[in-house]
Structure 1
């Protein structure tokens, strides 16, 4: 499982932009899901959903600092309990992300009536030369450990094993030129990986005028420091460097596949590749994730191994909560009935129906939701067949969005008002899955309570500390104005 990998790069036409040999190998010898999604487009909540098999509003993993209880029973715990040897390396990030205090305050104060830049302006950085391969050294070290474990340990154990490897790539890096406290915004790679990218195939996304942007998009673009001028070269470079980082990620996947192949384990091991969310890479005038647009919410999901259909493309909509019951199904462990996810084995495997233990058919929709920073409203996505419906907050104070992905894959035209019957039908369906106005109110209350606790703990240091978080460049121009805006928010009725 990697971080921030746009799932559309695993199939045509996205895969024309960058050479990804091991993802292509998995497609050739396995199954690729064409419509796999995160259940929350940010690191910790998405992993909480993946490890628990439960939607975000059930885990209450609202942001990067409120995840699952550390003692939560994950699917890998159940597999260990049922006789599997388990091994984990790298990024787990499902109990609480190691993110800054500024990140927390930005999430808690998203309902405050102010606009402050929270991120450093996205940029690129080329390092090393044409022979410099190991740019993300920490990820390579964890990949080496996992590959070494396969070669030295997995070959000698009699019980079945499950190995989890979590990568940080292709997540952008901290931006030192604006100070460590000012955000993670640098797309970093080397000439070696950049050569894997076809510049001519890079699509420059269309941007509407700022005045025409959906209000939540405008807030996101502003807080991500993307409302200024960007040249076509800047945009193309950001996208190219991001794709190069994806190529480096693919090579790490390759190291694991090679270790399995060299030891003879590949023919009897199921391999799954996925990510926690995508990366906008300047689509919709944004970078990072925290959005329901395809670049942010669409994740890769490829599976290969014994009994898995070969060279198979599946268009069914699926999501990360489906990993939990799928893993249990693979291990022939009874699947709990209270999960949000559904086993993918009936879609994946060359096996008889009565061999599948869960017996639950996957619905024709998936749910994704977001409650964290850089977005000034709780956000809910229902994805089904060609439609993507996005609702906000209480369902009436912020306009919804509706996209026909078959006619408008770039999601440039919101047709919610043009198709009121479809909008009403999908909103009704969404409300049958989640009472989203109630969840929004709960998160609003939680954010306010957490902020008050933090503020009280700071005492007399509050004004100085809040002024010098990542938004300091804007805040320090008019500190009293922003403190007053927070005070007004704190005095408002929480249950509104």
Structure 2
């Protein structure tokens, strides 16, 4: 018998790590890696232009849990734990009578196992702080509510999904909020390799290389086969989880979000895999399904990870806290006449301290010279780093920041960025313009500057 829908839909977050947007069929990948996600996005709501607000694991996760920029929570780098007085989505779902559960990688504490006081309010816990440091692809090690060590059988993606299936089955008669957080397709740090299930790397090695990686190299030719194999296994398990919801007859009353914390540039933009303002660092797959999101179509607006907490709370009928810095997508889905921001703001820390802003046409980024992005959250002085025309150069291969022809665009984007920084709670800063040079045949029409 089908469970009668209540006014409290279940909510599941299927959260991958370091997954590029163009690994998916809905974004043109030709390898058939994500048939389950593709079908899900096409029948629900596909957020076509989705981005992280901080391309680094811990900071991105802090934003998704709290709806606040990392500089607001203090989690601007990986080693900074979430402050105990900061409320997460779990706290709001707990208050609304939900059973809340967290399975997988946390990365918002500073120790393993993670004590109850540092788990962000989740009632059920089967997690590890930095899963890449405590487990292996075929040796999934986590800790339970009592901080007892648990070894899960199977490949790590399968093992975590098995645990999620058990949670859903046990709580099918309750309203529940489940956050399922994978490490894959993130690299395994110890070996600096993308370890796919046995036999999967070989299926995808040397098959398709995105244009930026084909041009810039990095570690793509070494790692793409394993990376794609991990994406394939994630999608298979996403399909498994959707099947479970259908078999329990709760699929029509369960909101499901699929997204990732950041993307991966395979050491083409710096010495690591992310921590830059490029699309290959910040653009992620994102889709929503279930109550409120059925047949929502493809949204072209620029959506940030920070918009998801207010969206999930709003969709579940829970009042969105006024202090959250993101915006709920629900008015867009209801086709209300609202003004959605026409630019997107990104904070960058780690190997550099930087800031970036993106419109539908332009990408502009700055960095703070001499500042350690792991030691300070922000700066009062930045210099221009790059400007890209995403219409003619979507894979960001030609930096226009020094071209005289694009100085008006850079000046407009600089003003936009400074405004966004202050809106995010940062102090006012100075951005030093780049030294310009001749532009050859390049020209920018006056009406293109504002796009």
Which category of TM-score, normalised to the shorter sequence, fits these structures?
Answer: 0.7 to 0.9
Q: Which moved more, 1:414-423 or 1:280-289?
A: 280-289
Structure 2 CA distance, aligned partners of 1:342 and 1:282?
32
Aligned residues of 2:390 and 2:396 also touching (Cα < 8 A): yes
Corresponding residue SS for 1:429: helix
Structure 1 contact 206–284 (Cα < 8 Å) conserved: no
Displacement after TM superposition at 1:431 (Å): 0.8
Kept in 2, the 8 Å contact 1:135–1:190? The answer is no
Please give the alpha-carbon distance, in whole angstroms, between the structure 2 residues aligned to 1:235 and 1:198.
Answer: 10
Tell me, yes or no, if structure 1 residue 433 matches structure 2 residue 440: no
Q: Secondary structure at the match of 1:189?
A: coil
Shift of the 388–172 alpha-carbon distance from structure 1 to 2, 3 Å rule, reads: same
Give the Cα–Cα distance (whole angstroms) in 2 for the partners of residues 136 and 88 of structure 1: 19
Alignment partner, residue 186 of structure 1: 193
2:285 to 300, 306, 311: 300
Q: Is 2:302 aligned against 1:317?
A: yes
SS in 2 for 1:324: helix
Q: Tell me which residue corresponds to 1:202.
A: 209
1:314-359 Cα offsets, whole Å, 9 max, x none, are 2211111111110110122222222210001123x3x474xxxxx9
Higher RCO structure (Cα 8 Å, ≥6 apart): 1
- The whole-number CA distance in structure 1 between the counterparts of 2:393 and 2:207 is 22
Query: SS at 1:16's partner residue?
Result: coil
2:342 to 357, 360, 364: 364
Taking the TM superposition and a 5 Å limit, the aligned residue runs for 1:17-56 are 17-56=31-70
More helix by share: 1
Which residue number corresponds to residue 360 of structure 2? 385
Contact 1:172 1:186 in 2 (8 A): yes
1:216-238 CA distance string (max 9 Å, x none): xxxxxxxxxx9xxx7xxx74241
The correspondence for 1:154, drawn from 158, 161, 171, is: 171
The aligned counterpart of 1:236 is 221
Counterparts of 1:54 and 1:437, CA distance in 2: 10
Rounded Cα–Cα distance in structure 1 between residues aligned with 2:331 and 2:311:
9
Q: Aligned Cα RMSD in Å?
A: 3.1
**What is the total number of aligned residue pairs between the two structures?**
366
> What's the counterpart of residue 471 of structure 1?
none
Q: How many angstroms does 1:172 deviate by?
A: 0.3
Aligned 8 A contact 1:400 1:416 in 2: yes
Does the C-alpha gap of structure 1 residues 156 and 336 become closer, same or farther in structure 2, counting only changes over 3 Å? Answer: closer
| Partner in structure 1 of residue 317 of structure 2 | 332
Q: State which drifts further: 296-305 or 278-287.
A: 278-287
Q: CA deviation at 1:312?
A: 1.8
Paired position in structure 2 for 1:72? 86
Q: TM-score, normalised by structure 1?
A: 0.67
Distance 1:64 1:126 in 2: 22
- Cα distance in 2, alignment partners of residues 136 and 400 from structure 1: 45
**CA pair 35-408 structure 1, distance change in 2 beyond 3 A:** same
Aligned to 1:167: 182
**Structure 2: distance between partners of 1:141 and 1:299:** 24
Partner secondary structure for residue 51 of structure 1: helix
SS at match of 1:400: strand
Whether the 8 Å CA contact 2:202–2:225 is kept in 1: the answer is no
**1:282-321 residue CA offsets vs partner (Å, 9 max, x unmatched):** 5447552111111111111111113314272222111111
Which residue pairs with 1:217 in the alignment? none
